[in-house]
Amino acid sequence: MKKIILLASLVIGVAPVFAQTSVGIIGGYNVNSIFPKSKHEMPDHEITSRSGWRAGLVADKRLWKKFYLQPQLLLNEKGYNTNFSTNVAPAYTTGKFKTRLLYLELQANLLFKQQIGKGKLFVGAGPYIARGIGGLEKSDVQAYDQNGVRQRTTYYTAIVYRNKRPDYSYGNVLHVKPYDVGFNFLAGYELKNGLFFNVNYSRELNNRGYTKGFESKNTYFGLTAGYFLKRFS
C-alpha cells in the first residue's frame, strides 16, 4: 500500500513541475463484473454485473509529436453481483450477493491524439496497479417453506484484503487478495476548452481469489468525463 501511495505521489504530484504538463480532475461510471462469467465456486450461483464509480486526478504530458503519457490516480469502485438459488426439500431459497470492492488505483496510459475539428480524437492503452482499501458485501436471502411462507434476511459481510487465505474463518468476513494488476484500453475526444470524454475497458490480469483452477478477475466497461485545470497542447 505504501509503495502505491509513494509511486502515485511521484507520478501525479511531481508531473506538474515539468513544462507543458496538463493536470485535471476525472470521474466516471463503471459497469463492473468478474471474468470469466462462469459458475461460482458453489453450484447454482450466477455472476451478473453491477454499477460502480471512479474519481480522481489526471495528468497529461506530451512525449513525442502526437504521443502522450496520461497517468491517473483514482478511487475506483469495482465488484459484481451473484444470484443464487437452492432447492432442498422441503424448502426453497433464493437471493443475491452484492459485492462492492474499493481500490486506490494508478494507471499509466499511452495515448495517440489526432486533431479532428476543434478538438482531438484519442486512443490509448496502458497498465494499472490497484490496492484494495475497502468494500462490503450485502446479502439478501429469501427462504420459502413447504407451505409457501417467505422469510427474508439481509446481512452484511466486510471485505478484508490479505495475500493468503487464512486457515480459519471469523465473523462476517470475505477475504480477497489485495492487489489488482491489469490493463486498460480507452478512446475519446478532447475539447479545446479542456473538457474530455472517453469510453474505456479494463481487465485484471492476476487472479482476485485464492482457489486454484478458478479464475476470478475484475473487469469493467466505463464512461468517463474530465476537465484539465491547467492545460497545454
Question: Residue 90: which domain range?
Answer: 2-17+25-230
Tell me what pLDDT residue 40 has: 47
- pLDDT digit string, tens, across residues 186-223: 999 999 999 999 999 999 998 877 777 677 899 999 99
| CATH number of the domain residue 64 falls in | 2.40.160
Please report, as a single letter, which amino acid is at residue 44: D
Backbone dihedral region of 132: left (phi > 0), alpha (psi from -120 to 50 degrees) or beta?
A: beta
Kindly write down the DSSP assignment for every residue of 177-199, as one continuous string. -SEEEEEEEEEEEE-TTSEEEEE
Lowest mean pLDDT among 81-85, 87-91, 101-105, 191-195: 87-91
203 vs 169, residue with greater confidence: 203
Domain count, the chain: 1
Kindly write down the DSSP assignment for every residue of 52-113, as one continuous string. EEEEEEEEEEEEETTEEEEEEEEEEEEEEEEEEEEEETTEEEEEEEEEEEEEEEEEEEEEEE
- pLDDT digit string, tens, across residues 12-28: 555 554 557 899 999 99
Question: How much is the pTM?
Answer: 0.85
Q: What share of the chain is helix, strand, coil (3-state, %, to 5)?
A: 5, 70, 25
> Residue 176 to residues 43, 63, 80, 102, 165: CA-CA distances in angstroms?
20, 37, 13, 12, 8
Q: For the chain, how many residues are written?
A: 233
Give the model's confidence band at 116: pLDDT under 50 very low, under 70 low, under 90 confident, else very high.
Answer: very high
Question: Which residue has cell 489488482?
Answer: 180
- Radius of gyration, CA atoms only, the chain: 21
Neighbours of 54 (CB within 10 A): 24
